[in-house]
Chain A
Amino acid sequence: MREPVKQTPGTDPTQPVVEVEDVHKYFGSLHVLRGVGMEVERGEVIVLIGPSGSGKSTLLRCITHLEKIDRGRILVNGHPMGYREVNGRRVELREREVAKQRRDVGMVFQQFNLFQHLTALENITAGPIHVLQRKKEEAGAQARQLLEMVGLPFKADAYPAQLSGGQQQRIAIARALAMNPTLMLFDEPTSALDPEMITEVLDVMLKLSDQGMTMIVVTHEMGFAKAAADRIIFMDEGRLVEEAPATQFFANPRHERTRQFLSKILH
């Protein structure tokens, strides 16, 4: 069994950041993930596409253990996420231990989910201060750098309700980055945005991929996929149907279902 002694993300460049092995997930009688397997190398950008209900978002939520899995396993930096194995049986970790594992995985949501009672700056410092026990000044300085990076240096004191959707999403990205994650998950980050705000969010994501961040992105923005994705994975009905490097994926999809889907979203 793969079980490094200590979690030291970033030290072994050959260690895959994510390993998903035969993962199954049910919501009641609904079988949403039907044996999903994939690996994500360090620095890779994966774009996950597929029709709604195909299990993309659920897969992301399972990777950071916001959802339990019913079978298989998910390793993040070589560690089983949310579970440990006792005599070959999966036992769910205690909530506190799961919380610790999640520090390494940043997540960006479709609805932004900024903390409504906190300013932009406080949203970004919430993780470092309350989870990593950093000093307020230190976390604040880092947050200002991140605000700069997402292009919102003058919005530090704004509350989420005072920001546009695009601005909120950029703050949400900064909030996730403040934890210095080794992996960033994006769950349809631009789907709730007005068209004119999509670019400003995608620009930040492109910048991140240029910096070598490992990312899994659920999106229908094929422009982003072409520009940033190392691999594109097509999901349908809880299975990975096809995966290929971006150029090959668009030019030459192998499966009929992929072709059908692409013809619907590309015009």
Chain B
Amino acid sequence: MPGWDWNAFGRYLISGYLLEGAWTTIWLSVVVMVLGLLLGLVAAILNMSKSPVLQGIAKFYLWIMRGTPLLVQLIIIYTGLPQIGIRLNVVQSALLGLSLNEGAYLSEIIRAGILSVPKGQFDAARALGMDASTLMRVIVLPQAARVMIPPLGNNFNGLLKTTSITSVISMEELLRRGQMLIQVEFRVLEIFVVAALYYLVMITLWGMVQRRLEAHYGRSVAPATTTAAPGSGNGEGAATAVERREMEHDLR
């Protein structure tokens, strides 16, 4: 039985076959994140609406998606639904399953973000004559973003790894490509270690992007800590900044 083979390891490290798998992991994660955010935003808004019916729809969705394993959801969509005539290919099933699942988790983050924006901001925007969608787009979401970016980033980090579950419905992402390569090459350890390294690189790069995003969305408050000297006459502003920081902390 051969031991660790450095030559094979080096070959797999630059293998186009595995790189393609990693690329699939990346685009799958990005597309799911975008769809999940849209779904999450809709669910969050429904959940906060005054109508019990709309609220009920949102709560039911969250209950199902967070109450059952993603693995089961994927298998039902890909293997189960054809039985009642709904046939989705592998990519469609993976996108649908992951997005529905992700949207449920993201909606809670978005809801917390929206609730973190002080009521006075809503009042001021309404008083200016903004309708609900303008108010959300221009005033609320950009401010909620600062609170939401850390947990959303963590979710994307998780999502990059969670996509590996779609290998069970033969989505050819990184893990599945690794498994398929092993069936030809029989080098289990080298190939899985390469796959693990790829995940590690993706997560590390994402961490760098996330830090820049956080800095960008925090820019309007960052100066406050350096310039809000005692007697600057804005006790209120300072108080809300502290509250928000606590809120961020809670969300983490």
In the complex, are the beta carbons of A66 and B126 less than 8 A apart? Answer: yes
A43 within 8 A of B: no
**Using a CB-CB cutoff of 8 Å, which residues 173-199 of chain B contact chain A?**
none
Query: Which residue of chain B has its CB nearest to the CB of A96?
Result: B131
In the docked arrangement, what's the CA distance between A163 and B233, Å? 9
A66-B127, A99-B130, A161-B220 as given contacts; A113 in contact with B233, CB under 8 Å: no
In the complex, are the beta carbons of B134 and A159 less than 8 A apart? Answer: no
Contact-size category for A: 35 or more
A96-B131, A115-B139, A161-B223 as given contacts; A109 in contact with B124, CB under 8 Å: yes
In the complex, are the beta carbons of B121 and A115 less than 8 A apart? Answer: yes
29 A-B contact pairs sorted by A residue (CB < 8 Å): A66-B126, A96-B131, A107-B123, A111-B120, A113-B118, A115-B121, A115-B143, A116-B220, A117-B142, A117-B146, A126-B125, A126-B139, A127-B128, A127-B130, A159-B220, A159-B221, A159-B223, A160-B220, A161-B224, A161-B227, A162-B227, A163-B234, A164-B232, A164-B233, A165-B233, A175-B128, A179-B129, A193-B233, A194-B233
A168 within 8 A of B: yes
B236 within 8 A of A: yes
Which 5 residue pairs of A and B lie closest in terms of their CB atoms, listed nearest first?
A161-B224, A113-B120, A113-B124, A103-B129, A107-B127
Among B128, B220, B233, contact of A166 (Cβ-Cβ < 8 Å): B233
In the complex, are the beta carbons of B129 and A131 less than 8 A apart? Answer: yes
Distance (whole angstroms) from the CB of A164 to the closest CB of chain B? 4
A130-B138, A161-B241, A163-B234 as given contacts; A95 in contact with B132, CB under 8 Å: yes
**Using a CB-CB cutoff of 8 Å, which residues 180-200 of chain A contact chain B?**
192-194, 197
In the docked arrangement, what's the CA distance between A117 and B125, Å? 13
Majority secondary structure, B binding face = helix
Contact-size category for B: 20 to 34
Complex interface bits, A106-135 against B, C-beta within 8 A gives 1, otherwise 0 = 110101111111100000001100110000
Question: Using Cβ atoms and an 8 Å threshold, which residues of chain A touch B237?
Answer: 116, 160-161, 168
In the docked arrangement, what's the CA distance between A107 and B231, Å? 27
Question: Using Cβ atoms and an 8 Å threshold, which residues of chain A touch B134?
Answer: 130-131
In the complex, are the beta carbons of B221 and A105 less than 8 A apart? Answer: no
B31 within 8 A of A: no
A71 within 8 A of B: no
A207 within 8 A of B: no
In the complex, are the beta carbons of A116 and B233 less than 8 A apart? Answer: no
Distance (whole angstroms) from the CB of B51 to the closest CB of chain A? 13
